[in-house]
Structure 1
């Protein structure tokens, strides 16, 4: 009898490793949830999903978007689907609580919003039997091997839409490419953001004929036009530091301190990326001994009022950052100075604002075209104050950069319409 030279069952090994991680992190993940979310989170993570409206009319499509950024990118797709297929039920799943909150506030009416269940086959089989989706769609590149496997077992096409693979992630996946090829066998189509992303997904194991380049949803984002009332009380130039990560608040404050004496009335708005860091960011601001206030203290609705004596505003709310960019003279991208991949520069670009980023924008490779066109400026943390000063002294240069950013934003739109046509093709096959 010949020896079995195949690799061990990698799905089994993955499931064992996933179970080990589950045993370690389940309780902390449960306890970190707000009390009012724990019961629902527990039920849905174990596959007890709610009844989907209109389920009796036709099978739904299931769209997964991990967190706030992916949910925001998904919104134009969801709204376009609502226009072309108004009776089609849609489930939107996320991993994070903040993703749930934004989805609940912004997704089209009738969208069923759930947490993605744990990646155990026994749980997922029950979910797929209950939901019976006609398509399972993953936004960007959330790769869940057992989700893909169970979908494939039930003949549910899996589409990876708006796909991207960072250089760092690609290196990691290449180490287990023998497994990723098996995972990718369960994916019907990869619609990637760029030629670079397409090449990376192929190098990991995606079949050539399954990969297309359709563009980046974020160029089609729905941008809120509702500028918060409190922003009308701000007088003077404004710097908005968006989606900052650990260590970056101090970088922003240091650069602000060097410029505030040259530009009286200069304001700095700091928006930490994760709500759990609001307190940490506030403590950093307190240590700077600069007068500050918290957005959550400014009231709501018609009662919102900004204190003109406040120099630094901590944006400790969710969902306002995109609109707040509209009042900026300069937008600074967080997550780009501490080597963690960058943040989305398209939100300030939509408003025609000049963008400053650090050297680590690996998750947004299109930023290179912005820099080359003079729509964005790359600096180190030590060069940030100088670049801010340059743009404040030369407002015409800042204005020209913002106009170029807006033009590039408009030039690259259209990915959502291309993707909806692909989804319609799969729906029409049934």
Structure 2
């Protein structure tokens, strides 16, 4: 019976891929209207063209958050294996831009091919990585099957599986189990993640902690944020970071109705293709605003009520410049974003009711006194104004955030230790890097 179920799951998955094939170029063209990066490097999405490197440490991080979370692990692996080339793959242009900014001076960066059998076999045959590290829970059946056939050991690093995601994987239970059983090492973030992954088929998942605790705020960005705050003057600053569609409009209405005129709202959408749409939302509520991109070398007007953070790679600077930080993706049922970064800068954190993608980190932050959960935009603004009017409460929450972030560090060393035996088994005999491409 398990074999029959596996055949059925494979058939359903392959049928879904077949039906999706004609839509892929249309999707790339459509998204490319707002983000031109989708129109580039199409050959890589089919594993075509020259191989940029062979025999590398391969890390796959689907987009921005995963690419940034990989930073401490990549640093630990480079310290332990300084001569090994590094290959990074991603799926989105923003993920690629993040990889270029963080690792472009040493890593080879390409798109991961779509999960078609021919493309994944070509990828493994041409690049022959020593080990593959999949950040969080990226289970692509054909990719995993191709890696197994090519003898490339795979690691799930920073692995997480929410209840919602577990139910999704349960739709193809035999295929999910077959994929997880081919993963050599599963390094889960929490006990709950490990239990859910084991239930779905992972063999002996290890609890290594969350790599995002190991990310150190870049000193240059902290200095940049402090400089911004000095230029903005003594105004209280509320940051709404990594906001998603459906969150900005109610927040802006609440801010326009209830916030004192001296409070500055810094609004940083999660996705750059939405910058213009969010600018339209600000205009619709009639709040005077400026764009971060227009402030280089220019002063902020005293009439400005909202600063639109339309820049990439400056999130730590925004945290350093604010007095209170709301972390978005949590007012809507989207799972939330990473609140650890705000806490690590020592800022009081507000989150909405929907944080299932960061369930354990959010629970621990609230328990530590570093974060407060709010129910909606009106509740968010009420709590933010309360904090902005209470310097001692902000200081207590900020100190609790620093302690919370420091207490849970160490995942990078633990995950690197789990990977080390796989690299030893792979040996040093694989091909050395080819020319950069």
CA–CA distance in structure 1, aligned partners of residues 202 and 188 of structure 2: 12
Shift of 1:108: 5.7
Partner of 2:286: 289
CA–CA distance in structure 2, aligned partners of residues 39 and 133 of structure 1: 27
Count residues with an aligned counterpart. Answer: 416
1:270 aligned to 248, 261, 267, which one?
Answer: 267
1:154 is the counterpart of 2:150 = yes
CA–CA distance in structure 1, aligned partners of residues 215 and 253 of structure 2: 32
Partner of 1:11: 10
> Deviation per CA, 1:35-91, whole angstroms, max 9, x where unpaired?
9746642110010254335x4xxx212110000000100112112222221110111
CA–CA distance in structure 2, aligned partners of residues 60 and 251 of structure 1: 47
Q: Contact 1:225/1:323 (CA < 8 Å) preserved in 2?
A: no
Q: Contact 1:233/1:307 (CA < 8 Å) preserved in 2?
A: no
Q: Contact 2:166/2:196 (CA < 8 Å) preserved in 1?
A: yes
Q: Contact 2:28/2:39 (CA < 8 Å) preserved in 1?
A: no
Partner of 2:348: 354
CA–CA distance in structure 2, aligned partners of residues 391 and 379 of structure 1: 13
Q: Contact 2:331/2:353 (CA < 8 Å) preserved in 1?
A: yes
Partner of 2:200: 204
Q: Contact 1:165/1:200 (CA < 8 Å) preserved in 2?
A: yes
Partner of 1:232: 230
Q: Contact 1:337/1:359 (CA < 8 Å) preserved in 2?
A: yes
Q: Contact 1:230/1:298 (CA < 8 Å) preserved in 2?
A: no
TM norm structure 2: 0.90
Match runs of 1:181-192 below 5 Å: 181-192=177-188
Specify whether residues 340 and 10 from structure 1 end up closer, same or farther in structure 2 by C-alpha distance, changes over 3 A only.
same
Shift of 1:109: 2.4
Partner of 2:166: 170
1:323 is the counterpart of 2:323 = no
Q: Contact 2:29/2:39 (CA < 8 Å) preserved in 1?
A: no
SS in 1 for 2:77: helix
Shift of 1:198: 0.4
1:117 is the counterpart of 2:113 = yes
Shift of 1:223: 2.1
Unmatched segments (≥5 aa) in structure 1: none
Q: Contact 2:238/2:325 (CA < 8 Å) preserved in 1?
A: yes
1:372 is the counterpart of 2:367 = yes
Shift of 1:27: 2.0
Specify whether residues 38 and 206 from structure 1 end up closer, same or farther in structure 2 by C-alpha distance, changes over 3 A only.
closer
CA–CA distance in structure 2, aligned partners of residues 388 and 6 of structure 1: 52
> Deviation per CA, 1:290-349, whole angstroms, max 9, x where unpaired?
1101111123xxx25433331100111111122210111100011111111111101110
CA–CA distance in structure 2, aligned partners of residues 427 and 331 of structure 1: 41
Shift of 1:230: 4.2
CA–CA distance in structure 1, aligned partners of residues 276 and 58 of structure 2: 35
Q: Contact 1:52/1:89 (CA < 8 Å) preserved in 2?
A: no
Specify whether residues 258 and 376 from structure 1 end up closer, same or farther in structure 2 by C-alpha distance, changes over 3 A only.
farther
Partner of 2:433: none
1:213 aligned to 188, 192, 207, which one?
Answer: 207
Q: Contact 1:230/1:306 (CA < 8 Å) preserved in 2?
A: no
CA–CA distance in structure 1, aligned partners of residues 363 and 312 of structure 2: 28
> Deviation per CA, 1:332-367, whole angstroms, max 9, x where unpaired?
011111111111101110110000111111111121
Structure ranking higher on relative contact order (CA contacts 8 Å, 6+ apart): 2
| Stretch deviating more after TM superposition (216-225 or 44-53) | 44-53
| Stretch deviating more after TM superposition (8-17 or 157-166) | 8-17
SS in 2 for 1:331: strand
Shift of 1:133: 0.8
Q: Contact 2:194/2:206 (CA < 8 Å) preserved in 1?
A: yes
| Stretch deviating more after TM superposition (176-185 or 270-279) | 176-185
Specify whether residues 9 and 260 from structure 1 end up closer, same or farther in structure 2 by C-alpha distance, changes over 3 A only.
closer
